């Protein structure tokens, strides 16, 4: 693959994987390591959760993150907070202007309500999160409000939410430097009933880099 995807990262690359369209991914990331997610083909929502590695009852909290930064959007410098009020990770770089904290994850239930009964069998982010969780002793109750990287959820003046065309493009990325040892869980969103993936789910790339001996 094109190694310009490593620009700006620490020089030791521990993980470099492509997450197929519609697929889940999870992995442990240590404090001090950087997780980069690359929107390979553009306009691809990446649903995302974090759990403390030592005790997964501590996990990413949208409420604590929004309250701590007094803003609903995630940008460079944003700190992802846990439900214990501790910093889990910081956005150290992103080539997309902002990311969503409030749009949530798609599910077969919400698809059915929004788009009709014929969409009930469509694969959804909640299914992906559950696939990951079941491998690690977690269940549906552990799926909390998630981040949507690369997704554009504007809030109108009257408070109405939209899910509109993305602001991302091929090769754009977000870098997260971890503040604690975590498990990161990704659903590469399979939604085809609204524009969050341009009606065409595509692969993303996951890179984990650290300050160990250079691998490149």
Residues 29, 46, 52, 106: which binds Zn ion (CB under 5 A)? 106
Q: How far is the CB of 111 from Zn ion (least distance, A)?
A: 9
Using CB under 5 A as the criterion, what x/- string covers residues 163-192 for binding Zn ion? Answer: --------------------------x-x-
Reduce the DSSP state of residue 215 to 3 states and report it.
Answer: coil
Residue 204 binding Zn ion, by CB under 5 A: no
Q: Is the Cβ of residue 96 or residue 163 nearer to Zn ion in the bound state?
A: 163
Q: CB-wise, 69 or 112, nearer to Zn ion?
A: 112
Q: Where are the alpha helices (DSSP H) in 74-180?
A: 108-115, 125-134
Name the minimum Å distance from CB 105 to Zn ion: 6
**Please, what is the minimum distance in Å from the beta carbon of residue 46 to Zn ion?**
9
Q: Please pick, from the candidates 9, 35, 52, 125, the single residue that binds Zn ion as defined by CB under 5 A.
A: 125
The 3-class secondary structure across 189-212, one letter per residue, is: CCCCCCHHHCCCCCCEEEEEEECC
Sign of torsion over alpha carbons 54, 130, 210, 95: negative
Which residue's CB is nearer to Zn ion, number 34 or number 197? 197
* Contact pattern from residue 57 through residue 96 relative to Zn ion, giving x for each residue in contact according to CB under 5 A and a dash for the rest: ----------------------------------------
- CB-based contact 34:177 (threshold 8 Å): yes
9-48: b (≥16 Cβ within 10 Å) or e: bbeebbebeebebbbbbbbebeeebbbbbbbbbbbbbbbb
Site residues for Zn ion per CB under 5 A:
106, 125, 189, 191
């Amino acid at each position: 693959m094109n190694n310009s995807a490593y620009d700006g990262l620490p020089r030791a690359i521990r993980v470099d994987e492509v997450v197929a369209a519609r697929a889940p991914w999870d992995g442990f990331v240590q404090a001090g390591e950087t997780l980069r997610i690359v929107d390979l083909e553009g306009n691809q929502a990446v649903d995302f959760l974090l759990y403390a590695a030592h005790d997964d009852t501590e996990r990413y909290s949208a409420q604590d993150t929004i309250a701590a930064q007094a803003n609903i959007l995630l940008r460079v410098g944003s700190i992802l907070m846990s439900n214990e009020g501790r910093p889990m990770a910081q956005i150290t770089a992103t080539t997309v202007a902002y990311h969503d904290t409030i749009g949530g994850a798609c599910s077969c239930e919400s698809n059915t309500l929004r788009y009709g009964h014929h969409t009930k069998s469509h694969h959804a982010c909640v299914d992906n999160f559950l696939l990951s969780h079941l491998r690690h002793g977690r269940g549906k109750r552990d799926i909390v409000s998630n981040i949507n990287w690369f997704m554009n959820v504007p809030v109108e003046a009257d408070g109405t939410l939209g899910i509109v065309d993305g602001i991302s493009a091929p090769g754009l990325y977000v870098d997260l430097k971890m503040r604690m040892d975590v498990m990161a869980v990704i659903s590469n969103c399979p939604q085809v009933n609204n524009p969050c993936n341009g009606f065409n789910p595509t692969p993303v790339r996951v890179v984990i880099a650290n300050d160990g001996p250079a691998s490149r």
